[in-house]
Every structure is written in C-alpha cells, then in structure tokens.
C-alpha cells in the first residue's frame, strides 16, 4: 500500500475533537465539497500532500486552526 498522500488519495484524518473525516484529493474539475472531494490545489489538499499516517498537520479552517492527524491513506 502506498503510505504517502498524493493525488488521488483518500485520506482519513482525525481532528482535535476526535472526529474522523475522509478527504479525497482530486482534479480541479472533480471537486465535490459535499463528498469531501477537494482539489489538489486547495489549501487542505496542499496541507495533506506528502504526509504519512501518524503525522500531524496544523490547518487553519474558516472556523479557526485545528490539528489534523493522518490516520489512513488509501487509493481506490
């Protein structure tokens, strides 16, 4: 299994509140925020790219900064 977050990955992250969220990194024309499909050019995708499970990244959402732990990386 590829353990590094790259284009096409579905990335499970855990936020400080303990919630798991799955983001899928897709092309600009495939973006679908209702499904958490984010463009590889978006700030959240850029924060996640090249990370591995166990790593933590800080990210500033509109609601404020959060720390996301990379839980799982998979490719379909």
Report whether 24 contacts 73 (CB < 8 A): no
pLDDT tens for 26-56 read 999 999 999 999 999 999 999 999 999 999 9
CA distance 76 to 65: 30
In the 8-state DSSP scheme, what is residue 18? S
In this prediction, residue 49 carries a pLDDT of 98
pTM of the predicted structure, to 2 decimals? 0.93
Q: What is the mean pLDDT of the chain?
A: 96
- DSSP one-letter string for 31-50: -BGGGTEEETTSHHHHHHTT
């Amino acid at each position: 299994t590829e353990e590094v977050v790259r284009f096409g990955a579905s990335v499970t992250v855990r936020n400080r509140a303990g919630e798991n969220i799955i983001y899928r990194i897709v092309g600009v024309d495939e973006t679908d925020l209702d499904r958490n499909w984010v463009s590889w050019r978006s700030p959240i995708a850029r924060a996640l790219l090249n990370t591995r499970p166990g790593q933590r990244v800080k990210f500033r959402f509109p609601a404020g900064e959060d720390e996301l732990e990379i839980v799982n990386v998979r490719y379909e």
